[in-house]
Amino acid sequence: MDTKKLRVRFAPAPTGMMHLGNIRTALMNFLIARQKGGTFILRIEDTDPARNFDPGALKIQEDLQWLGIEFDEGPHKDGGKGPYFQSERASIYEAELKKFIKNKKVYRCFCTMDELDRKRQRQIALKTPPRYDRTCLKLSQEESDTYAKSKPFVWRMELDHSKTLVVQDLSHGAIPFEMKNFSDFPITRQDGTVTFMFANFIDDALMDITCAIRGEDHLSNTAGQAALYDAAQKPLPLYWHMPILCNIDGKKLSKRDFGFSLRDLKDAGFLPEAINNYLAIIGGSYEKEIMNIDDLIKIIDFNKPSTTGQIKYDVEKLRWINHKWIGNLPTKKIAHLCRPYLEKSYEIVRTMNDEQVEELVHHIQQELVTLQDCVQLLAFYFAEPQHDADIARTLLPADKKEAFKICLSDALPLSCIDDFLTTVKTCAKDNDISFKSVFSFIRYALTGSINGPGIKELMNMLSLDVVNERLQKTLDSI
């Protein structure tokens, strides 16, 4: 890979929320630019105003900032190649189109959609490849000029069927495209605006993009891109068509799959560090799996990317990586991130200072899989848990239950946690009851769950009055 002047771009359309496919494309562009000392460009393909969900691409920029993916050129960061919104580049496309017309690389096509559809259906019925039959290419210049005065038309690219164009791809190597196997494609619409294919080519060419990184699903239109570069006599960029992200069933990720949308992951309490980490290593094999951005920049080998067409998105692996990141980050930061979830569920948290929230989160940090889990894990602190007497009974050996009840009743009400725990341990030992059973019962009494912080931690978190009340209430129920 020639990296002397590496220039890559992320070119999303602001027609919906950022999803995992978008993010992975942005991330890989960012990582390769940082690793090779290149330039990472953000370009917004906003030529469909009717579907423009995110005017000004503000949410896209906000999401990239949250993920720590910083672009070098783009909106409000002009590197001399702007504008960076396609909606502001119409005059550029018009000028480049005129060059194609002048050099006779395109021709007018007056065929209607109904006519094209009928031809396509006939070709399918005859089991021939459904391609445009070049009806309008056969028109004389005079006929074309005359029709253009009264009939709507598009400009259609005239492919050179004698050529074989070769694209270099990081995953697939040299990919030859025989132009005789492809159809002349439109580069404008009937309203005069240019198509995605043409605008994308013009932008990449004029912004000096040297490596185009995108999904495997774009491989099919690469032949058209190659034809445009060839017609303009411009050097082709290197391509990398990355594997498509699929769900566990092997189908392309969709809105129905949890985590498809970045906003879903943010709302559920996934960290940007974990999302980047997971999307960078997915489909690969790494001895060390928990890595920050700096680690990823160093370790990913862009000379040997995956050659598979698709890779499976495993939400459980993402959850595991998120769990590790939460456990590794400073408690102060995790507490700050947990606060909004706690405030939403427990109004009293709004009156607590940062140190109080941090102390609570400290006790559950290593159990958090997502930030959202703090609500359930700390529920016992803010409200009395609901107990099931049958569950409480199963936590103690049936033949030891009465002995334990007597022992625990004698130790209540407790006034000193250490003395209480010493008494309970002695009771358990004297009556041949496992410490696990004893502490599971006490934890269940205090929290309504057999899992959670250590017993002493729990007692320190709760007031002695609450501890006594919950222990006695649960003891009475069995």
pLDDT in tens, the chain (478 residues): 555 689 999 999 988 888 999 999 999 999 999 999 999 999 999 877 777 778 889 999 999 999 999 999 999 999 999 999 999 999 999 999 999 999 999 999 999 999 999 999 999 999 888 999 999 999 999 999 999 999 999 999 999 999 999 999 998 899 999 999 999 999 999 999 999 999 999 999 999 999 999 988 888 899 999 999 999 999 999 999 998 888 888 888 777 788 788 999 999 999 999 999 999 999 888 889 999 999 999 999 888 776 677 888 899 999 999 999 999 999 999 999 999 999 999 999 999 999 999 999 999 999 999 999 999 999 999 999 988 888 888 888 888 888 888 888 888 898 999 999 999 899 888 888 888 888 999 999 999 998 888 899 999 999 999 999 999 999 888 8
The radius of gyration of the chain from alpha carbons, rounded to an integer in Å, stands at: 32
- Dihedral of alpha carbons 354, 356, 360, 362, sign: positive
Cα–Cα distance measured from residue 478 to residue 474, given in angstroms and rounded to the nearest whole number: 7
Q: Decide if 242 is inside a domain.
A: no
Tokens of 61: 């920029």
Is residue 445, in this structure, part of any structural domain at all?
A: yes
Structure tokens at 189: 């619409």
Q: Check which CATH number belongs to the domain holding 461 and give it.
A: 1.10.10.350
Maximum alpha-carbon separation in the chain: 108
User: Is residue 172 domain-resident?
Assistant: no
Asked if 458 and 390 sit in the same domain, the reply is: yes
Helix, strand, coil distribution of the chain in percent, nearest 5? 55, 10, 35
Asked if 185 contacts 222 with a C-beta cutoff of 8 angstroms, the reply is: no
Q: 347, 379, 411: which is the final residue of a domain?
A: 379
Domain boundary among 338, 364, 379: 379
The dihedral sign for the CA sequence 220, 221, 224, 228: negative
Name the domain count of the chain: 3
Tell me whether residue 440 is in a domain: yes
| pLDDT score of 267 | 94
Same domain, 364 and 406: no
CA distances from 369 to 299, 316, 340, 377 (A): 26, 10, 16, 11
Helix (H) or strand (E) run with residue 106 in it: strand 106-109
Cβ-in-10-Å burial (0-12, 13-18, 19+) of 14 comes to: buried
401's tokens: 């239950």
- For residue 4, the model assigns a pLDDT of 62
Q: Got the DSSP string for 10-31?
A: E---SSS--BHHHHHHHHHHHH
Q: What is residue 393's predicted lDDT score, i.e. its pLDDT? A: 87
399 & 346 share domain: no
90: in domain: no
| Domain span including residue 368 | 330-379
Residue 352 lies in a domain: yes
In this structure, are 426 and 468 located in the same domain? yes
**Residue 437 and residue 365 in one domain:** no
| CA 152 to chain CA centroid, nearest Å | 42
Helices of type H across 171-271:
196-206, 222-232, 262-268
- 373 and 444 belong to one structural domain: no
Q: Which helix (H) or strand (E) holds 6?
A: none
Tokens (6 digits) for 270: 């996934």
Domain boundary among 162, 188, 207: 162
CA 1 to chain centre: 27
On whether residue 209 sits in a domain, the answer given is: no
CATH at residue 129: 3.90.800.10
Q: Are residues 371 and 422 in the same domain?
A: no
Residue 8 lies in a domain: no
> DSSP characters for 461-477?
HS-HHHHHHHHHHHHHH
Amino acid at 192: G
Q: Which three-class secondary structure state does DSSP give residue 413?
A: coil
Give CA angle at 285 (284, 287), nearest 5°. 145
| Residue 355 and residue 407 in one domain | no
Residue 357 sits in the same domain as residue 336: yes
Rounded to the nearest 10 degrees, the angle between the axes of helix 417-430 and helix 401-411 is: 160
Q: In what side-by-side order are the strands of the sheet with 173-178? A: 173-178, 164-169, 238-242, 211-215
Please tell me whether residues 347 and 393 are part of one structural domain. Answer: no
- Residue 248 pLDDT: 81
For residues 394 and 370, state if they share a domain.
no
CA distances from 59 to 14, 266, 280 (A): 9, 13, 22
Q: Do residues 400 and 460 share a domain?
A: yes
Which one-letter DSSP state was computed for residue 219? Answer: G
